[in-house]
Homo-oligomer: A and B are copies of this chain.
Amino acid sequence: MKTMSKIPHRLYLTEEQMPKQWYNLRADMKEQPDPMINPGTMQPVQAEDLYPVFCEKLVQQEMDAVTRYIDIPEEVLEMYKIYRPSPLVRAYNLEKALNTPARIYYKFEGNNTSGSHKLNSAIAQAYYAKEQGLDGLTTETGAGQWGTALSEACAYFGIPLTVYMVKVSVEQKPYRKAIMETFGSSVIASPSDTTNVGRAMLNDDPSTGGSLGCAISEAVEKATTTPNHRYVLGSVLNQVVLHQSIIGLETKIAMDLLGEYPDIVIGCAGGGSNLAGLIAPYMRDKLTGKFETRIVAVEPASCPSFTRGKYAYDFCDVGRSTPMAKMYTLGSDFKPSANHAGGLRYHGMSPILSKLYHDGFMEAVSVEQTKVFEAATLFAKVETILPAPESAHAIRVAVDEALKCKETGKAKTIIFGLTGTGYFDMSAYTSYINGAMTDYIPTDEDLQRSFSTLPKVPEIM
């Protein structure tokens, strides 16, 4: 392999070097994740069950555990080229600040208006919606990253989009709403009077601030009751994991050019889509016995699905309107404390990642948020990127691993995913700087309470 003589700060692949296919991790998994279950029939979900909700092509991708590489449509590649290939950055300044022999790299996915990796899947989903001739899409958004990304993608492909945004988020983050509207989306504070579930919620409690669960339910209801509309989701699903493989594939090509193979790959994990995307080609090497590398998922101590959750069937939403998935979960009723600043608040985890974790192919650690913001602030100062709090979970563990290298004197190669920027998270930074940020770890009793809501699913396989 021809390698570069000097490693630049930022390596951008050329358009020609960009991957033309997504990689489907399931094709190399000897043991497959358990299938989703239709809660009505308690039988494995069939494609036909999903067609009323999702685009056909996306349903096919969701169910496809066989095709190893799937062509990225030309139109999707064209839009990717506006912000991709994303840079692989050698964190020279962070290394210097830590005085570590480790070589630290990060793949930066925040160089687009939506500010995060979510755009990678949003583009694919909007494209397939257009290809199918749909008249519109619906989705929900909490903090707003996914809604922003999908708004961008829908503006590009000319698909009308309705975003149900949790009411309390609309009030706390009016600028997130403004960006989505700039892209032409219709943003509705949830609960709203536009759906049965929303009206019922408002009837119960007119002053409610809403919840992600309710917003999902409204978006699904709206999609399935409006002619020629479908619903889209930004994480957890197999299709999203597939689209996000672009992150890892680019990373691997760039690292190969540098003659580097990571000893440790680190990513933050909420629903798991960014982590699954980043690690995809390295997990492939592990699954196929080609190379061994440590793969580490980082989650908040306040929402520890991998490290303290159960591997069990659960609903994907709080409203229990979705199929059930076998995954690491805290129970769909689990809500992290309000003092938890960042994202990564989801109660469950991608079924693909859950299976890989369960089978010992990866590790997981949980970190407390003040430690996360400490790392984020250091990183911002030396690398001049203000990280999203979510991304900063990965920074925290990368820093910890680099500091271990300092102790041991071993020059390990560490790579982590920097999923996005923190421009809309300044209130959390302010709270950290002012010393007002505290940590929160759920008690065992908290978890027992939410575990008790797990659905009973008969052994079906």
Contact = CB atoms under 8 A, between A and B. Distances in A.
Number of copies: 2
Interface in A176-199: 178-179, 181-184
Nearest to A434: B181
A207 interface: no
A155 interface: yes
A182 B83 contact: no
In this complex, which of A93, A382, A423 has the most chain B Cβ atoms within 10 angstroms of its Cβ? A423
B111 A111 contact: yes
Given A9-B15, A181-B433, A382 B427 contact: no
B384 A175 contact: no
A152 interface: yes
Contact of A384 (B14, B83, B93, B421): B83
B12 A380 contact: no
A92 B15 CA distance: 14
Contacts of A386: 113, 179, 182
Contacts of A133: none
B384 A182 contact: no
Contact of A182 (B93, B174, B433): B433
Nearest to A97: B156
Nearest to A382: B156
A255 to B, nearest CB: 17
Given A113-B386, A384-B82, A14 B8 contact: yes
A10 interface: yes
B381 A183 contact: yes
A413 interface: no
Interface string A336-370: 00000000000000000000000000000000000
B179 A429 contact: yes
Contact of A385 (B113, B174, B175, B381): B113
A426 interface: yes
A112 interface: yes
A43 interface: no
A185 B189 CA distance: 37
In this complex, which of A12, A174, A384, A385 has the most chain B Cβ atoms within 10 angstroms of its Cβ? A384
A112 B383 CA distance: 9
A68 interface: no
A377 interface: yes
Contacts of A429: 178-179, 182
B82 A426 contact: no
A261 interface: no
A183 B381 CA distance: 6
A430 interface: yes
Interface in A69-122: 79, 81-83, 93, 111-115, 119
Nearest to A119: B384
A377 B178 CA distance: 11
A424 interface: yes
Given A82-B93, A182-B429, 19 more contacts: A8-B81, A9-B81, A10-B83, A79-B384, A82-B384, A112-B384, A113-B421, A114-B384, A155-B380, A155-B381, A155-B382, A174-B430, A175-B427, A181-B433, A182-B377, A182-B380, A182-B381, A182-B433, A423-B423
Interface of A: 6, 8-10, 12, 14-15, 79, 81-83, 93, 111-115, 119, 152, 155-156, 174-175, 178-179, 181-184, 377, 380-386, 421, 423-424, 426-427, 429-430, 433
13 contacts: A8-B15, A10-B12, A10-B83, A113-B386, A155-B380, A155-B381, A156-B381, A156-B382, A156-B384, A175-B427, A179-B429, A181-B433, A423-B423
